[in-house]
Structure 1
Amino acid sequence: KTLLIGHGYRTNGEGIAQIKKMLAPFGVEVHAFDLPHFQGPSAVLHLMSVLSPISHSRAVVYEPLAPIRLLEFLRSRNISWLTVNDTEVHTQGANILTVAPDVVVLAAGNPEIEGKLRESGVTAHIFNGENVAVKGDGGPTCLTAPLLRR
C-alpha cells in the first residue's frame, strides 16, 4: 500500500508526519513531494492538481508542474503516464476521478486528454463540469471523498 502526498501550503511537514504515523500500523508507505509555488498559495492546492492515477501502472500528469522526484518515483515503479496540455490543465484535464482501473470520470472540454485516454483503452465518462471545473476551479475528484481504493 502506498500513499503519495503533496507538501505545500495546505499540507505542511507536520501534517505529513502525522499522516505517516497514523498509517504506519497499516503498512502504508507514505511518499511526500514538494508542490510548486507556481502562482501563489491557492494555485496548486494538492498533488491531484498535477497527478491522477488511472490504474496501478498508469497515470495522467501535468508535467510542467510535476515535481521531479514525483516523476522519478513513477518511473521507479514502472508507472507510465499520459500528459495533459497547457490549455486543458486549466479546465481540470489533470483532475480525473478513477472509479476502477482504467475507468475514469473527466470534465467535458478536455478533448486531447480524453482522446489519449480512449486511445490507450481507458473508459472515460464525461460530465459537464463547467460550473465546477471552470467557474469553481475543481475537477471530479473535488466532488468526492474516497475512503478506500483497491
Structure 2
Amino acid sequence: MNKLELFLDKSALVGNENQILSADEFKNLLGKESFEYIDVQTFSKLKDIQAGEAGIKSALVEVDFAIAETGTVVIDSCNENKRLATCLAEKLFVVMPISKLVASLNDVADFIEERTADMGGYVAFITGASRTADIERVLTVGVHGPKEMTVYILNDL
C-alpha cells in the first residue's frame, strides 16, 4: 500500500471525507464555498477572523504535513486565530498538497522540534472530528474540536 492509499484508509476510518482534486478544481471550489476562516499559503488566501461566542462554522487551513500511517494532519498553530479556528470550527476543511504527505511521525520530528523549541510554539495534530465519552460511555462528537473534517488532497502541486 502506498502512502496516499494508507492515508486515505486511516483518514476514512475516523469518518473524514477525503477528496482528491487538481489545483484548478480546488481554485474553483474556493470561489464557490464560503469559509469563515481561511489560511491557505499555497494559494495566497487569508481570511482572518476572531472566534466569538458563536464559534466558527467553517475553517479552511493548509497543512504543514500529513502522516500516512495515522491519517493525521500536522498544522503549525502559533497564530492564535488559526489555533482557535482549527479547534472551534464545526466543520474543518484542510488542504493537503500531496508533496506534504510523509510516511510516519518520525518524518516530521525535525519540524516539530523546530516549531516548539521556542516556548511560544504550538503544533496541532488532527486526525478527525473530536470524540469524547462520559463514564457511561455516551459518545459526544465535537466537544474538543471540529464535528466534521474534510481533507482536500491536491494531486498536482
Q: TM-score, normalised to structure 2's length? A: 0.27
Higher relative contact order (CA 8 A, sep 6+): 2
Greater share of strand:
2
TM-score normalised by the chain length of structure 1: 0.28
